[in-house]
Structure 1
Amino acid sequence: MIDAHHHLWDPDLGYSWLDAPELTAIRRPFTADDLRAELGAHGVSRTVLVEGGCCRAGEVPRHLAIAAATPEIAGVVAWADLTDPHLATTLAGYRTLPGADKLVGIRDQVQGRADADFLDTAEAHAGLAAIAASGLAFDLVVRVDQLPAAARAAAAHPDLRFVLDHLGKPRISAGAAGLAEWRTAIAPLAACGNATAKLSGLVTEADWGRWSVADLRPYVAAAIEAFGADRLMFGSDWPVCTTAASYGQVLTALRAALPTETTDTEREAIFGTTARTTYRLEA
């Protein structure tokens, strides 16, 4: 089993978003040893470590070094600024760092950009082209209103593997209205064969204190209908998920939210095969 999305951080090294009052419980260091305890308890053998919103170049060598020392971490999605005019050189520099053999993807904090159409800009397209040329995947962490531009970007760069984090952050807590707007917004991206998506981060888009599997089920079913199981992957979004659910609760909830007709082959894709092929993880 592969967890395609988790984080590790030390707040003292620059994660200002953790200063929000509602995040007090996760405003502490989360280490590889903490991660291993969760993996061992729940039968997860490999993971993908994703940049954690530090948005500083210094996070990249730290994460690669952690991955090099942690066999369970099979890949790292590192931070980079899509608007960096020297992004190709930046990525080449990442390739020289210790542990760079585990570098599998790049992510920019697009969700933090006010412009819903940021991914339509010339600067963003130049950055995406540089990532495509590097052979790395690009993780999309976007809001629902940014999904249309994400779809246009995926269509414009068919040689780049796009990975949608958290299903595009649907407003699950908004009920039927949130589901309707998300279903409309997700369809064009799902139609792009070079786009995959993570069944991750859903409990924190629902009501943290009162969510249920029933809240998640329509999104999981719609994602399978739109992408197909072979373009979906499980991600815990640990430790962010712990604001609403434990690692085990997230995993159990996703299993329960899958349609009853989901086949064993489809489950294997969601819980391992898709992540392995999309991120080109070593067998």
Structure 2
Amino acid sequence: MDIVDSQVHLGPGGAAEMVAALDALGIAAALIDEYWLGTPGEPYYRLANGGTRTTSPTAELAAWTYPGRFSYLVRLDPRDPELRAVIRLARDAAHVRALRVSPGMTRGEIADFAAGVYDEIFALACENGLPVFVQLAGQTQLLERVVRAYPDSRIVICHCGMPPGARLWPIVAQMEGLPDSETYWRAAAAEPHDRAFARVLQAAEWPQVALKWAHAPVSFDAAGYPNLAARPYLRAAVDAFGADRVMWASDISVNQTGESWAELLFAIADNPELSAAERSCVLGGTARRWLDWPA
């Protein structure tokens, strides 16, 4: 099976250890979101207006050093006054496959998303033929306005589309840093899974939207291999979106529930509730098609 992990973090440093792990697990390729853990947001340049412009030195080196094993995405800040140039550079870069925005980490950014502050990114992504990964932390209904305004867009919902789970919300609250952040995000995490996931499934109505199946163990209180409590939600996602619009990601670098990379992989590869064809799509085929990434 051609397996693609559609989100890992890498950097700073080289990729030799990750290549060895990919080889051991039988994973053909991985999409890097370069994000240096412990130094949120880095590597980036601070812009004069307070915005940021990310860079991906480790990911680019890995992609050139290990042909075919790595591609990467480019994170965007809607405050960047040179978005058009940044996205054109991403389009022309040999190993960039997608863009990413993460407005779901603070309520202010979510409000900005709802108000259209991120719209230029989607317009330029359409113009340049790049998909956009979007982390909305349980607010996937906000995509409706975007997909109607930009029908040629290709959007991938990050992290199962769910609010931060019980082990993740304290991190989000700390990042937001407001007096009521703990109260708000604790309540968001306590929303019943069925109700929160129903909003995600509604996004299946839009054919230009796919779902990244990542952080399912923490999102659905399904910690521990083989993450049995997450299986009904994956089955519902495949039924609603189709297996050709669901892609797996380990996000192993920040897995809050402690499963190994192998356990996260084989929780899907050995899932008897999925057909062989569905597993092939979820574990690699969908990512290849949506990211225009030849095997």
Cα distance in structure 2, aligned partners of 1:44 and 1:238: 13
1:142-161 alignment, distance < 5 Å: 142-144=136-138, 146-161=139-154
Cα distance in structure 2, aligned partners of 1:32 and 1:229: 30
Cα distance in structure 2, aligned partners of 1:208 and 1:268: 23
Q: Alpha carbons of 1:49 and 1:81: their partners in 2 closer, same or farther (altered >3 Å)?
A: same
Partner SS for 1:203: helix
Cα distance in structure 2, aligned partners of 1:118 and 1:40: 41
Q: Is the 8 A contact 1:50 1:77 kept in 2?
A: yes
Q: Which AA in structure 2 matches 1:132?
A: C
State TM-score, norm by structure 2: 0.77
State TM-score, norm by structure 1: 0.80
The question of 1:7 aligning with 2:9 is answered yes
Partner SS for 1:123: coil
Q: Which AA in structure 2 matches 1:274?
A: T
Give the superposition deviation at 1:239: 1.5
Q: Alpha carbons of 1:222 and 1:138: their partners in 2 closer, same or farther (altered >3 Å)?
A: same
- 2:243 — aligned with what? 229
- 2:292 — aligned with what? 280
- 1:78-128 CA-partner distances (Å, limit 9, x unpaired): 1111343331112224456xxx21111111221223143432323211221
Give the superposition deviation at 1:191: 1.1
Give the superposition deviation at 1:156: 2.3
1:1-283 alignment, distance < 5 Å: 1-10=3-12, 31-52=14-35, 54=41, 56=44, 57-94=53-90, 100-115=93-108, 116-144=110-138, 146-170=139-163, 173=166, 177-207=191-221, 213-241=227-255, 244-256=258-270, 258=271, 260=273, 262-283=274-295
Q: Is the 8 A contact 1:171 1:206 kept in 2?
A: no
Q: Which has the higher helix share?
A: 1
Q: Is the 8 A contact 1:48 1:76 kept in 2?
A: yes
Cα distance in structure 2, aligned partners of 1:126 and 1:89: 12
Cα distance in structure 2, aligned partners of 1:151 and 1:213: 30
Q: Which runs of 5+ in 2 are unaligned?
A: 45-52, 167-187
Q: Alpha carbons of 1:58 and 1:191: their partners in 2 closer, same or farther (altered >3 Å)?
A: closer
Q: Which AA in structure 2 matches 1:188?
A: Q
Partner SS for 2:107: coil
Q: Which AA in structure 2 matches 1:167?
A: C
Q: Alpha carbons of 1:176 and 1:90: their partners in 2 closer, same or farther (altered >3 Å)?
A: closer
Cα distance in structure 2, aligned partners of 1:225 and 1:113: 31
Cα distance in structure 2, aligned partners of 1:118 and 1:167: 21
Q: Which AA in structure 2 matches 1:36?
A: V
Q: Percent identity?
A: 25
Q: How many residues are aligned here?
A: 258
Cα distance in structure 2, aligned partners of 1:60 and 1:237: 17
Q: Alpha carbons of 1:87 and 1:191: their partners in 2 closer, same or farther (altered >3 Å)?
A: same
